[in-house]
Amino acid sequence: MQKLLVIDYWSQYTHLITSRFRHLGVYTEIVPALDDLNEKDLEKLREEINSWILKWIILSWGPNSVYDEDTLTLPKSFFELEVPILAICYGHQLTHHVNWWEIEWWDSEEYWEANLKIDKNSKLFKDIESDEIVVWMSHWDSVIKMAENFAVIWTTEDCEFGATSLEEKNIYTLQFHPEVSHTQNWIKILENFAEICEIKKEWSMEKFLEFELEELKKQIWTKNVFLFISGWVDSTVAYFLINKAIGADRIYPVFVDTGFMRLDEAIKVEKSLKTAWVKNLQIIDAKKEFLKDLEWVSEPEIKRKIIWDKFIEIQARISKELWLNTKDWLLGQWTIYPDTIESGWTKNAKTIKTHHNRVPEIQKMIDAGLIVEPLNMLYKDEVRTIWRLLWIWDELIDRHPFPGPGLSLRILCNEEDKAEENYNYQEEEINWFLWFEFEGKILEVKSVWVQWDNRSYKHPLSISIPLPSPLLRWEGIESFWEELSEVSTSITNNFSSVNRVLLNLWNIVETSIYRVSENKDAINGHLYSLQKWYLTDDRISLLQEIDDIVEKFLIEKDYRNKIWQFPVVLIPIGSEWKESIVLRPIDTIDAMTATFSKIEIKDLKELVQEILKNPKIETVFYDLTGKPPGTIEWE
């Protein structure tokens, strides 16, 4: 099969580039960039190019500057390979830097959208009608001088060398991101490049299925497979793929009830899996064990690690009880392609979140050939296509995706008393920036997001709409969400102290009361003190209850299939014994990039009213942050 190779410069979004091209039918692989790419490596690439396998190389973006001490670079001879090259962001800067010109370190970053004027003579912009398109930018450094023979094919006011090309050698370098759906005409730009490379479009899920079943038969051979199954898409598809390859009798599926499932979910999953003919299913009630290990833990990465250690411990225990040995058994995992890089498994990628399937114990088993991972080449939406091709029972696929550690990631904990931290100064600055149209308050909890490919762990900003309620002015008007979306973007772009923007929905139900409080920590009468709370039965039950209200709302109001995923997060912010809820509905195709969903105001009002009937809830927030910069889950 002809292929496109993406050389990864530690970017979390390398997967997005890859998945975009696979959607165009182009088989795409990722290789980590090497710091010592030598003549032997180049020779290997040359061989693949000469035998018509390798048709095209992409240099990804990444978090570094070409001037960083530990950054990865390329020899100049790389650009003499007879293959088309598309270099994006860091790749664009690297191309010009390696070819002996300069990059400038900019003090002010360009982040989000920019208008670009395109050179319509370039093959890359073929059949794009307008002269100007909006593109998505995310960079600090800028090229200030071009390498010899290159031509500028795109420029903006702020970026003189926004895109360049060496058309006769089919080398294109772009400062903007053509793989992001916020870039206008992005599909056309990628298609044009595929056309320039004359690459065959040979990748399809039908072909993958054929290939993977043969591979599984070879790999598993006469052994048996032990597999944790959760009833969600990935583990269920992994089960049925292995089942198709070796038959149900040689698989031992185990469902572990961690206690972090949704309300009554464990019962529903068991019923669904049995209805879908999952044979030999064993159910383990491990609720108490999990909770005990997580007592007094608040740091998200430690939470994740404890959860996956517990899974490994349970697996070892069952193996011992059943006398399973490594000679006859393999461990099945439902790792999908992005999970392998988000954990930072490539040499230098930064860890955003640790995924269970790449913890050190598992890595050792992978190295010893004791793990089988039928989905590790696939993206989420490709897994769903396999589901359809395998004709697995529909009721299971209709559920929203749910993370393995479940609600434990959606209950924020806090162990230190951080009340002494003073945010007044930053808040004031932000409020000036907002022209006091909204009231901004930095909350003392923290959440993860991805910023220039690094993990960041910062505070959200809550914004409230002061009364008399402009919500009434905006109700039912499209521009309400549009305006909030712009506010959210400009805040995260301009203030590095906050990483998310939340709309406090308190006055969506209390339109006529403005409760002024003497307390500095109060906005609209709501206290914003941070509580010192851990994972407890009570908090899990509280979140399950609210999550269930949201689930019923989605079904009743017919949002179930319109919203891709709807995390509901419990945060320890409120007065005395109260906490608050964050609603995080998102729209996405593949969970790699996402925007927040725009629910009708009248429906939202009903939902918030219903949630606030619970006396333990102080207020409800709506997460207005996109991905990037925010991740979908908070932890």
- Name the residues that contact ligand XMP, by CB under 6 A: 353, 355, 401, 403-405, 565, 591, 627, 631-633
Name which of 20 and 355 has its Cβ closer to ligand XMP: 355
Token output for 321: 């009880």
Most distant CA pair in the chain, distance = 75
What's the CA gap between 370 and 409, in Å, rounded?
Answer: 29
Q: Judged by CB, which is closer to ligand XMP: 156, or 597?
A: 597
User: How long a stretch of residues is the chain?
Assistant: 635
Return the number of the residue (92 or 584) whose C-beta is nearest ligand XMP. Answer: 584
Return the number of the residue (62 or 404) whose C-beta is nearest ligand XMP: 404
Closest alpha carbon to 567 in 539, 608, 597: 597
Helix segments in 115-170, DSSP class H: none
The yes-or-no answer on residue 459 being catalytic is: no
Q: Shortest approach of ligand XMP to residue 87 CB, angstroms?
A: 26
Q: Is 348 exposed, middle or buried, given 0-12, 13-18 or 19+ CB atoms closer than 10 A?
A: middle
Class of residue 416 by CB neighbours under 10 A (exposed 0-12, middle 13-18, buried 19+): exposed
The least distance separating ligand XMP from the CB of residue 418, rounded to whole angstroms, comes to 24
Residue written as tokens 């833990």?
297
CB atoms within 10 A of CB 359: 17
Residue 33 CA to residue 17 CA, distance in Å, equals: 15
Which residue's CB is nearer to ligand XMP, number 169 or number 400? 400
**304 token code pair:** 């994740």
Q: Which residues of 605-617 are buried (b: 16+ CB within 10 A; e: fewer)?
A: bebbebbbeeeeb
The minimum distance between CB 490 and ligand XMP, in angstroms, equals 22
Question: Between 93 and 235, whose beta carbon lies closer to ligand XMP?
Answer: 235
CB of 507 or CB of 631, closer to ligand XMP: 631
- Rounded Cα–Cα distance for residues 452 and 468 (Å): 39
What phi and psi values does residue 189 have, to the nearest 5 degrees? -60, -45
**Dist CA 249 CA 278 (whole Å):** 10
Alpha carbons 84 and 194: distance in angstroms, whole number: 10
Q: To the nearest whole angstrom, how small is the minimum distance from the Cβ of residue 456 to ligand XMP?
A: 13
C-beta of 633: minimal distance to ligand XMP in Å? 3
Q: Are 28 and 3 in contact (CB under 8 A)?
A: yes
**Choice between 173 and 258, CB closer to ligand XMP:** 258
Q: Which of 15, 92, 97, 177 is catalytic?
A: 177
Sign of the CA dihedral 97, 102, 104, 110? negative
Question: Can you tell me the distance from the alpha carbon of 254 to that of 7, in angstroms, rounded to the nearest whole number?
Answer: 38
Instruction: Give min distance, CB of 263 to ligand XMP, in A.
Output: 18
How many CA atoms lie less than 13 Å away from 595 in the CB half-sphere?
13
What is 389-422 written as a DSSP string?
A: HHT--HHHHTSPP--TTGGGGGB----S--TT--
Residue 473: φ, ψ to 5°: -65, -35
- To the query of whether residue 89 is one of the catalytic residues in this protein, the response is yes
> In angstroms, how far is CA 8 from the centroid of its own chain?
17
Task: Please state the closest distance from residue 249 (CB atom) to ligand XMP, in A.
Answer: 27
- Indicate the residue among 159 and 568 with the shorter CB distance to ligand XMP: 568
Q: How far apart are CA 413 and CA 445, in angstroms?
A: 9
Secondary element (H or E) of residue 188: helix 186-197
CA distance 349 to 122: 34
Shortest Cβ 587–ligand XMP spacing (Å): 12
Q: For residues 426 and 311, is the Cβ–Cβ distance under 8 A? A: no
Residue 337 CB, shortest distance to ligand XMP, in Å, is 12
Q: In whole angstroms, how close is the CB of 635 to ligand XMP at the nearest point? A: 8
Q: Cα torsion at 69, 345, 81, 74 (round to 10°)?
A: 0
What SS3 state is found at 104?
A: strand
Q: Which is nearer to ligand XMP, 147 or 378 (CB)?
A: 378
Q: List C-alpha distances in Å: 534 to 273, 297, 433.
A: 32, 7, 35
Q: Smallest gap, in angstroms, from Cβ of residue 632 to ligand XMP?
A: 3
Question: Which residues fall within 8 angstroms of residue 425, CB to CB, at 6 or more apart?
Answer: none
Q: How far is CA 321 from CA 227, 316, 560, in A?
A: 16, 9, 42
Q: Contact 624/499 with Cβ under 8 angstroms?
A: no
Q: What's the rounded Cα separation, in Å, for the pair 192 and 180?
A: 16
Minimum distance from CB of 624 to ligand XMP (Å)? Answer: 16
Catalytic residue among 97, 159, 179, 633: 179
Query: Cα(289)–Cα(455) distance, rounded to whole angstroms?
Result: 30
Instruction: Tell me which residues are annotated as active site.
Output: 89, 177, 179
